[in-house]
Amino acid sequence: MLEMRPNCEKCGTDLPAELPGAFICSFECTFCTQCADALDERCPNCGGELMDRPTRAQQHHAKHPPSTVRKFKG
């Protein structure tokens, strides 16, 4: 199951799990659309491809909560 990190690691923008607009690599490094575009869809941490992160429906948050741990490298 994906961790569903709550923010962009580059700019800090909130990325709610139930909304589109987040991109992840295979290590779940997470970026917003604008930062992913600026990075040419390449993860600056591992060099992997950034892909659209699927959303998690709100009704599943109680049983499978998204992460609350913010990772921000700036």
Upper half-sphere CA count for residue 48 (Cβ side, 13 Å): 13
2-61: per-residue pLDDT in tens? 999 999 999 999 999 999 999 999 999 999 999 999 999 999 999 999 999 999 999 999
- The enclosing H or E element of 51 equals strand 51-52
By CB neighbour count within 10 A (0-12 exposed, 13-18 middle, 19+ buried), where does 44 fall? middle
Rounding to the nearest 10 degrees, give the CA dihedral for residues 50, 33, 22, 43: 30
DSSP letter, residue 30: E
The answer to whether the predicted template modeling score (pTM) of the entire model surpasses 0.75 is: yes
